[in-house]
């Protein structure tokens, strides 16, 4: 028996995650429930954020944004795998990134994330970011449910 696969567009993702449109770094996502997610975001060289990152330089997606893209994909995986309820506070406690190549716009960054450990209220994820088949970053994170 295969795990169900779900594909979501940006508007569907916005309805599930707690972020506003300007801080959502996922345009589309495909989830294998309970196992993994692959999500994409397209970045354009004329984006104000990228132009401000290196004034007068190349339009490079900041590494922190790549890590955030992996984090958002991780939360979406947890929600759609029914491990976390949409709207529950879910915070990253540890983040480890190894960057290997820059993401120079115009580009579509694809992140792939898997569960590494599921022991509610804590979750561990392992993922990576790539563009055009070139590895950009490897990311490990631990997140937890938290009441504020």
List, for residues 61-76, the tens digit of each pLDDT value: 999 999 999 999 999 9
Cα dihedral 65, 72, 21, 79, rounded to 10, equals 180
Q: Is the pLDDT of residue 99 over 90?
A: yes
Predicted confidence at residue 2, as pLDDT, reads 65
Predicted confidence at residue 1, as pLDDT, reads 58
Per-residue model confidence as pLDDT tens digits over 9-32 = 999 999 999 999 999 999 999 999
Average pLDDT over residues 119-142: 96
With a threshold of 0.85, does the pTM exceed it? yes
Predicted confidence at residue 17, as pLDDT, reads 95
Largest CA distance in the chain: 53
Mean pLDDT of the chain: 94
Predicted confidence at residue 89, as pLDDT, reads 86
CA distance 39 to 41: 7
């Amino acid at each position: 028996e295969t795990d169900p696969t779900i594909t979501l567009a940006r508007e569907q993702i916005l309805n599930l995650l707690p972020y506003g449109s300007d801080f959502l770094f996922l345009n589309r996502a495909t989830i294998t429930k309970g196992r993994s997610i692959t999500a994409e975001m397209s970045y354009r060289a004329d984006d104000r954020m990228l132009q401000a990152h290196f004034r007068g330089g190349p339009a490079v997606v900041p590494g922190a944004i790549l890590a955030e893209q992996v984090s958002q994909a991780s939360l979406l995986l947890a929600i759609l795998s029914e491990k976390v309820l949409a709207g529950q506070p879910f915070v990253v406690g540890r983040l480890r990134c190894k960057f290997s190549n820059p993401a120079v716009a115009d580009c579509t960054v694809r992140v792939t994330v898997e569960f590494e450990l599921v022991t509610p209220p804590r979750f561990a994820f392992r993922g990576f970011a790539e563009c055009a088949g070139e590895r950009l970053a490897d990311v490990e994170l631990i997140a937890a449910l938290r009441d504020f």
